[in-house]
Every structure is written in C-alpha cells, then in structure tokens.
Amino acid sequence: MTPPLFIGNARLIDGSGVDLEDRPYALLIDNGRIAAVAPDGQLPCPSGVERYDARGRTVMPGMIDCHDHQAAINGSLRDRAAIPPSMVVLKTMQTLKQTLHTGFTSIRDAGGLDQGMKMAVEQGMIPGPRLKISVNILCQTGGQNCHIQPSGVDTDFPKLPGLPRAICDGAEECRRTTRDMIFSGADWVKLCTTGGVGSRVGGPLVQQFTLPEVQAIVDTAHGSGKPVMCHAYGGTGMDIALEAGVDSIEHGAALSEAQIEVMAKKGIWLVPTFAVLRKIKQMDVENPGYLAEYTPRKARELTARQLVGFRQAMQAGVKIAMGTDLGPYAHFQNAVEFGFMVEGGMTPMQAIVAGTGMAAKCIGLDDVGMLKPGFAADLLVIDGDPLADIGVLAQPERLRLVMQGGAIVTRAD
C-alpha cells in the first residue's frame, strides 16, 4: 500500500489533449490511483497527507513507448559474442529499471523480451515499465528477423534464453508459429511484411510473406484475442498487411496516399519511429564503417519520405502513437521521439498525447496515459514546460518525480 500524496501548484498536462485553464492545478493520489484533479484552491489537501509543491513545474502522465526492444544488447559482434545468456538477463533487468527512471512508465516491446521478464516486473521482483510484449518477430526465411549470414553464422545474439523460433514459411507454418508466440506469452503478435534498413537481402520496400501467410497470422492472432503489429515501410508489403487487417503499422516511412486512406478508414494505428532512422544516420557520422554500408544509406533514403507521409497521415486522421525502435542502437533516449514528431508537424501537445493518452489506447492499457480520476497514478513532475520546449522531455535531469501506480520511483526535490 502506497501512502497518499497531494500535488499542488502544478502546471497540468492531463494526456487528453484538452487545453486546460492557464492556472495551477492540484491532484490527490490515493491507493495507487488519481483520486481527484481540480484547479488549485478548489481541491483541499486532506489532513495528514503529504503536500508536494510543484510550483513552476509540469505534471503530466508517464511516457509510453509503443515500439522498443528492452532486451536488445548494444555493441559490436565481438562485444556481444562475449556476453553469456545469463548476463543478458541481468543487463535487461538494468535496462528495464533505468528506462522507468527516465520517465517511461509503460512500454510495448516489439521483440526480444520474454514472458519471464514481464512476470518479474508485474510481481514486483524487478522495477520496470508496465509491459506489453510480442516475444519474437515472425518473419520468412531470409526475412527481416532472420540474422543468418552468408557464412552460416546466426548473428542474433546474445538474447534471453528460451525465446521461441520465429522464422516461418507457408500459411500452415505461419499459423503454428503464431500459436507458439501466444503460448509463450505474447500480448501482441508481431510480423514483418517488408525488409528494413538493416536487411542484408532486399530492403524496406521489398515484400516479405505472401497475403495468405499474413492472413493466416492475423486470423490466428485475432481468433485468440491478440492484436497484430506489423513492421512495414511501404510498397506491396504494406498493402498485404493492410488488406489482412493488422492493428498497427510500425515505421510506415514510405506510405502512399492510398495506404493512408485505408489506415484512416480501418482505424489502423501508425507508430512512425522517427528516432531509429535518425540514430542510424548519427552513428554513421560519428563512427563511419561501424554499421553495414547499406544500413545508413537506406535510412537516408527513407527520412525525407517519412516526413511527407507522416504529415499526410495526420491530415487524413490516421491514429498515431509514439514509438522509437531505439533499443537495438541505444537505450534511455526514448524521449527524443517527441521532438522528431514536432519536427514532423505535430504541435507539442499532439506529440505528448501521442506518447501518453493515445499510446495507452494503442497498446491496450485502459487505465493509464491520462491524469483523470480513477486512472492509475503513473505520472511525472518536470522542471519546465514541454508545451513551450518539447526538448525538456529528453533531459532526464529535468525529472523531479517519477511515479508508477502511486509508488514513487525516483524523487529529486
């Protein structure tokens, strides 16, 4: 049982997108939830409850990344080859803890995080964000999640022990592998219908899987009550994903007007992941030759197209949620995505909602993402005003308080 807390004199962003009155607000947190929210002065602090003065600071919901890889271990092949599987478990525990401390109270993991890690967080064994997991990423032989090199070496290491195999070919095998993921604890089933910037064979606009294969995956997942997230940049791979009825498109950096129209009509989410392409380009500048030649080249080719498609998707009313895909390249930098979304045409408020209220709806968390009575008390207190300068969200030193479920994660008075 966490003690109640009264937060007063706060600049409030409640995650709904509504422009609140320009005045201080107060919140009462009790039993892990938001008990009351009102203009300061209209909500008295109960006797015996600690009062936290947030004067000059902003209170907002905890941030949510709808596309990360918390179990990814960064480094060269040599660095990663020197890490035994048991160390991956410990490193992943550290990543979960530090990600929470940077203000991300919920994460949808897009591949690599297993059921055991989720259980450990839920049971309070280790600190970490609330988790929705996809376990492993379904792909065809030689597809986006197939890491077998010409030498025959599989470079998908190190990883958490026990992840089920995800490579599948043909509708029947795709159906069986989908069942494996669900049996292994997947909240979301993830697949790839195009290559990516890191694909050795093909690329971001090359189709992977056939429509019957994708339909088998989607129908099997939906039949078990599980939504489907799809890595797709554009082209015919995007078309078959939309036709099959996936629930969210990850990346979508080369969307056509017709594809945007379908997404808006069907209510399919877009999780654009600006951060990963920009991180790849940055790494290539800072450390030339570290990445395979084709990876930064493909990232550069997609960046301009991504901005155009993103703006068109916004105008068409496509539902957009924040996600980064940064895990394979860097951890703890997730909040840079807010700035990239503003560069893409969102207002700071729209970007914040994409990473709070809308993100919660996208990944199926019904009682987080907004600061409203009855919602879980996942919230941040930040020095500064992210509506005036969205960049403050990417400065962890600005976080004065991180709370998850009413429990204080970190506090710097």
172-198: pLDDT as tens digits: 999 999 999 999 999 999 999 999 998
Superfamily covering domain 5-61+369-411: Urease, subunit C, domain 1 (2.30.40.10)
% of the chain with per-residue pLDDT over 90:
89
Q: What is the DSSP letter of 391?
A: G
Looking at residue 379, its amino acid is L
The Cα–Cα gap between 382 and 387 comes to 12
Which pLDDT belongs to residue 167? Answer: 96
- pLDDT tens string 211-240: 999 999 999 999 999 999 999 999 999 999
Are 29 and 7 in contact, with CB atoms under 8 Å apart? yes
Select the more confidently predicted residue: 236 or 148.
Answer: 236
Superfamily covering domain 63-334: Metal-dependent hydrolases (3.20.20.140)
Q: Is 105 helix (H, G, I), strand (E, B) or coil?
A: strand
Per-residue pLDDT, averaged over 354-371, amounts to 98
Q: Is 270 helix (H, G, I), strand (E, B) or coil?
A: strand
Per-residue pLDDT, averaged over 334-355, amounts to 98
Confidence band (pLDDT; 50, 70, 90) for 90? very high
The Cα–Cα gap between 232 and 353 comes to 24
Greatest CA separation for the chain: 70
Mean pLDDT of the chain: 96
Whether the pLDDT of residue 154 is over 80: the answer is: no
Q: What is the DSSP letter of 15?
A: S
Are 197 and 204 in contact, with CB atoms under 8 Å apart? yes
Q: What are the Cα distances from residue 188, in Å, to 63, 111, 256, 260, 347? A: 20, 10, 26, 22, 29
Which pLDDT belongs to residue 72? Answer: 97
The Cα–Cα gap between 289 and 217 comes to 37
- The residue extents of the domains of the chain are 5-61+369-411, 63-334
Which pLDDT belongs to residue 150? Answer: 79
Per-residue pLDDT, averaged over 159-170, amounts to 94
The Cα–Cα gap between 365 and 130 comes to 9
Of 158, 155, 118, 109, the C-alpha closest to 136 is 109
Are 360 and 106 in contact, with CB atoms under 8 Å apart? yes
Q: What are the residue ranges of helices labelled H in 274-399? A: 274-286, 294-316, 336-343, 348-354, 357-363
Confidence band (pLDDT; 50, 70, 90) for 156? confident
Burial class (CB in 10 A: 0-12, 13-18, 19+), 280: buried
The count of other CB atoms within 10 Å of the CB of residue 333 is: 15
